[in-house]
Amino acid sequence: MMYRMMTLALACLVAFQAPALQAQDGPLRLEIKEGVIEPMPFAVPDFVPESGAAEELSRNIARVVAADLSGTGLFREISQDAFISRVTSFSSPVQFADWKAINAQALVTGAVAVDGTGRVTAKFRVWDVFAGQELGSGLQFVGTVDGWRRIAHKVADQVYSRITGEGGYFDSRVVFVSETGPKDNRAKRLSIMDYDGANLKYLTDSSSIVLAPRFSPTGDRVLYTSYESGFPRVYVLDVASVSRRLLESQDGTMSFAPRFSPDGRTVVYSLIQGGNTDIYTMDIATGASQRLTNAPSIETAPSFSPDGRQIVFESDRSGTNQIYVMNAQGGEARRISGGTGQYGTPVWSPRGDYIAFTKQSKGRFHIGVMRVNGEEERLLTASFLDEGPTWSPNGRVIMFTRETQGAQGQSRLWSVDITGRNLRQVQTPGGASDPSWSPLQ
């Protein structure tokens, strides 16, 4: 596995002296909050190639860094055509006046070297142009030529994090279901790609229906539902070796909607027995299972809180689908969704502050978020069919499935900010559904 082989080293460039300039105002800072914000203008000149083989890489890495930042909707890239200064040496002083003149508030400079063994070293600095000083200090990442996009994502995560004060999400992957064929004969394959759609790889063939893959907390394994046994059942797949194993095989039952516990040792899932769907947990190592709900209603789509102590799930026990929270050991559940309409597929944010959900109301579907006590419900999207939210590793962005209406209807992945801004389609080669976002790698 490429990612396994790649050692990504992180080191401070102590050799570089920070410029002895004093900040005129407060440091460059972008606070992510409600309301309309003006994207922060930034410039990323091509990185400086420091070896012959690094020419193309230094350009490509700078492009991916810029694309990552622009893709958040929080930053706006200034076209290279507008640049007054050229950066030809990583160690030369930055001509702040030239960058101020084109209103670049943030500037990212970098350099890339490739050694004889194919080892890539990329170093970079982030500049607060108007304060005339560096933001944080220079860093370098070491990787392989094949893994150059990861280096770029790592740089972009650093830039994002220094400017917003929050963790990034660019060096991450998405596992999802690729879809081909017409609606009444759709073929589905488990697939994995970088968060931006690059490096797509198939994990299964299309001989069986596969549904709703879910990453483990470290991104090394994927839980999913497959019909390969003839019935829907939960499998666990090792991402590096692409080997899979059936998790739940009780005869006469069906299992689906699995998710890992935050420690990666337990799976919470739905089991159908005698037509009734309830929630169970299973210890992955021992196979020992525990029943958490016991009601004639439908209990499904369970998701652990980040501290592993609670489980949020959907149930139609009240007559409509609503969201409930219970203890991770089961027991009494309290309803948290209160609005009109049907609520489903709740997912606890990695920060623990929100629960994302699917809402069906008046013939439309929405992705929304609410506080864990059900307050401050906010619908982020609306369409014929939006469903199945998944959180970015930093809890700022939600990816989901959007299916278009009609006989030619097709599913695609979309993402939206938890503020409701920056709705955009995620690049996939064809139909795609059921995304699950990995943690930062």
Q: Which is nearer to other proteins, 185 or 286 (CB)?
A: 185
Site string for other proteins, 237-266 (x = CB under 8 A): ---------------x-x-xx---------
Judge residue 252's burial from the number of C-beta atoms within 10 Å of its C-beta, 0-12 exposed, 13-18 middle, 19 or more buried.
Answer: exposed
Strand partners of residue 116: none
Tell which one of 209, 242, 295, 372 touches other proteins (CB under 8 A).
209
Strand partners of residue 259: 268
Q: Are 108 and 86 in contact (CB under 8 A)?
A: no
Report the C-alpha gap between 259 and 308 in whole angstroms: 12
Report the C-alpha gap between 65 and 157 in whole angstroms: 9
Q: Which is nearer to other proteins, 135 or 254 (CB)?
A: 254
Select from 12-20, 150-158, 178-186, 330-338 the region that touches other proteins (CB under 8 A): 178-186
Report the C-alpha gap between 132 and 233 in whole angstroms: 59
What single DSSP character describes residue 383? B
Select from 7-15, 100-108, 122-130, 339-347 the region that touches other proteins (CB under 8 A): 339-347
Kindly state the smallest distance separating residue 283's Cβ from other proteins, in Å. 23
Report the C-alpha gap between 231 and 254 in whole angstroms: 6
Q: Are 290 and 270 in contact (CB under 8 A)?
A: no
Tell which one of 301, 367, 370, 440 touches other proteins (CB under 8 A).
301
Q: Which is nearer to other proteins, 78 or 257 (CB)?
A: 257
Q: Is 340 in the site for other proteins (CB under 8 A)?
A: no
One-letter amino acid identity for 56? Answer: E
Q: Which two tokens stand for residue 96?
A: 């702040």
Tell which one of 199, 360, 361, 422 touches other proteins (CB under 8 A).
360
Return the ∠ at Cα 417 (arms to 411 and 420), rounded to 5°: 90
Select from 137-145, 158-166, 242-250, 379-387 the region that touches other proteins (CB under 8 A): 379-387
Q: Is 191 in the site for other proteins (CB under 8 A)?
A: no
Kindly state the smallest distance separating residue 409's Cβ from other proteins, in Å. 6
Q: Is 300 in the site for other proteins (CB under 8 A)?
A: yes
Euclidean distance between the first and the last CA atom of the chain, given in angstroms as a whole number: 14
* 162 to 30, 82, 138, 158, 168: CA distances (angstroms): 9, 25, 12, 6, 9
- The site for other proteins, by CB under 8 A, has a size of 43
Q: Which is nearer to other proteins, 113 or 175 (CB)?
A: 175
With H, G, I as helix, E, B as strand and everything else as coil, classify residue 82.
Answer: helix
Kindly state the smallest distance separating residue 332's Cβ from other proteins, in Å. 21
Q: Is 212 in the site for other proteins (CB under 8 A)?
A: yes
Q: Is 339 in the site for other proteins (CB under 8 A)?
A: no
Q: Which is nearer to other proteins, 277 or 419 (CB)?
A: 277
Tell which one of 94, 175, 298, 426 touches other proteins (CB under 8 A).
298
Q: 215-234: which residues touch other proteins (CB under 8 A)?
A: 229-232
Q: Is 322 in the site for other proteins (CB under 8 A)?
A: no
* 194 to 14, 281, 393, 422: CA distances (angstroms): 31, 30, 13, 19
Q: Is 385 in the site for other proteins (CB under 8 A)?
A: yes
Report the C-alpha gap between 396 and 353 in whole angstroms: 11
Report the C-alpha gap between 44 and 127 in whole angstroms: 10
Tell which one of 21, 32, 272, 423 touches other proteins (CB under 8 A).
272
- Contact positions toward other proteins, by CB under 8 A? 182-186, 209, 211-212, 229-232, 252, 254, 256-257, 270, 272, 274-277, 298, 300-301, 314, 316, 321, 342, 344-345, 358, 360, 384-385, 387-388, 403, 405-407, 409, 434
